[in-house]
Every structure is written in structure tokens, then in C-alpha cells.
Amino acid sequence: MNNFSVIGAGDLGTRLIHALVEKEYRLKYIYKKSKYDNSAGPVTGDMASMVRESDFIFICTQESRIAEAARLAASSDPAGKVFFHTSNSLTSDELSLLKEKGAFTASFSPLQTFAGNDVNRTGVDLFKGVYFLAEGDEPALRLAREITVRLDARLFVVDKSKKIYFHIAAVCASNFLISILKLSGNQLKRAGDFDMSVLLPLIRQTVNNVETRGVDASLTGPVKRKEMGIIKKHLDHLEGEDAALYKALTNFLFHSFP
């Protein structure tokens, strides 16, 4: 089970290709196109040949296109092949047409973020220690376990009905963190056009505290000390969306850390 292909060679798909090839899996094809020229794989529009020559196929498209990719692959001869999709928000049900045709299917998705083509990090670096979520057919899960071991990653076999909560958690931890850092950056500009490097030591120490002490024990600052005067002063100097986000986050903290 070493020959693989990828449908959807974007940010995640390209990194996955590099990581798997580094771990001695053999890339057969990238379907139709790749986002980056250096994805190092033959591009084909022949779905039937791709399925026939691959042991397993990753569907790494955006969520709205997974079912269509599965439909196209199901029109070939997928029996006995393993198909994964890499969406944290969707389950293996998206691949039901393939399962009906005799394929083994699973959702197999990394709790990781991929922003652009970072040439300074290899695919393996980005997956090492990362948790993958998986649910689906047992033959597909066996292969998922093998892949995570080779990537020095970790596997969570999850309840299909609970998977969406992992995705919500990941969006909060990544996208919402970016929103908060954007809010911080806005204030640095008002302070004299400073950049985020001023706050990086604070950010790193906060993450270290969470890793060693846990989330609840890592809260510091005016909310922790219930210094309402400082919070009001902050709000007096904020306006628009910045004020609204600050207020919403402060209210969340007060309710979460009574």
C-alpha cells in the first residue's frame, strides 16, 4: 500500500505530498492541477488511470468539493482502494458513493494549519507530533495508523457525531487567535506603528504556560484580578470593531473564570 495520488494539491495537499514522499510512499498522480510548481508530481486528468494505479487516494479539496471529487472517482473502478478526505469539519459520509462501489473510506484530517508554501519547512516538519482525526472503515483506519506512525504524528479515532467539535476547537485556536492578534496589532499601530515582534515573547510565554500549567491556570491580567477600572479605561480608548471584540472577549472571560 505505497502508491498514492492526491486530488486537490493546494496548501495541505502539497505539504502532504512532500511528507509522504519523504517517508518513502510513491506519488503516482496529482489530479488535474497543483497550486505550486514545486509539488514534484505528475499531473493527470485521467481519473480512471489514477485510481487504477494508486493504492490510496487523498482528497484534499475544500469541503464543498469533496463530494464531487468522490463522485468522479466513483465513476471509475474504486473497489478495494482506500480513499481519505482531509476535512476536519466533515465525516466519511462524504465518500459514500465510493463506499457503495467497494472502496474503503475514511476521513483522515490533521489538526494543523497550512498558510502558503513555506519553503523553509519540509512536509515532515509540519506533521511531526500533529494529531490526525480519523473515522471510517477499518481497512482505511489501519492504513491511517501506518501513515501517522511514519509521519511521527498521532492518531485519534473519533466518534463521527463528535468530530465537528474538534473542528470548532481548531477554528477557535487558529482563526480566532489570528483575530485577537489583529486586534493587538491595531493597538500597536496606534502606539507608534510598532509590529508584532514586540509581543512575540509574551505570546510564546502564554503558550508555554498553557502547555505546562493548563488553560485555566494561565490567565493573568485585569480580568484575573477583576480590575474593572482598567477594563473601562481600555474600552474608553477603543472604538468600532476593536471595542466590540474586546468587550465580547472580556465578557467571555468573566463568565468562564468567575
Residue 76 CA to residue 50 CA, distance in Å, equals: 9
- ∠ CA(197), CA(198), CA(201), 5° rounding? 85
pTM of the predicted structure, to 2 decimals = 0.90
- List C-alpha distances in Å: 210 to 6, 172, 181, 217: 36, 15, 17, 8
Distance CA 208, CA 192 (A): 28
Alpha helix segments (H runs only) across 54-152: 63-74, 96-100, 123-127, 138-150
Class of domain 166-256: mainly alpha
d(Cα 206, Cα 79) in Å, to the nearest integer?
A: 49
Longest dimension (CA), the chain: 68
Architecture of domain 3-158: 3-Layer(aba) Sandwich (3.40)
**What are the backbone angles phi and psi of residue 163, rounded to the nearest 5°?**
-60, -35
Note down pLDDT in tens along the chain; length 258 residues: 899 999 998 889 989 999 999 999 999 999 987 766 655 578 999 999 999 999 999 999 999 999 999 999 999 999 999 999 999 999 999 999 999 999 999 999 999 998 766 544 556 688 999 999 999 999 999 999 999 999 999 999 999 999 999 999 999 999 999 999 999 999 999 999 899 999 999 999 999 999 999 999 999 999 999 999 999 999 999 999 999 999 999 999 999 987
Other Cβ atoms less than 10 A from the Cβ of 92: the count is 24
Amino acid identity for residue 10 in this structure: G
What type of residue sits at position 176? F
Please state, in angstroms and rounded to a whole number, the distance separating the CA atoms of residues 181 and 190. 14
Q: Check residue 224 and give its pLDDT.
A: 94
Q: What local confidence, expressed as pLDDT, does residue 71 receive?
A: 96
pLDDT at 32: 85
Q: Give the pLDDT of residue 38.
A: 52
Q: What's the pLDDT score for residue 121?
A: 53
* Dihedral sign of CA atoms 172, 174, 178, 181 in order: positive
- Residue 33: name the closest of 60, 67, 63, 54 by CA: 60
3-class state of residue 56 by DSSP: strand
Kindly give, in sequence order, each residue whose CB lies less than 8 Å from that of residue 191, ignoring residues fewer than 6 positions away. none
Listed by start position, the domains of the chain span 3-158, 166-256
The predicted structure's pLDDT at residue 125: 82
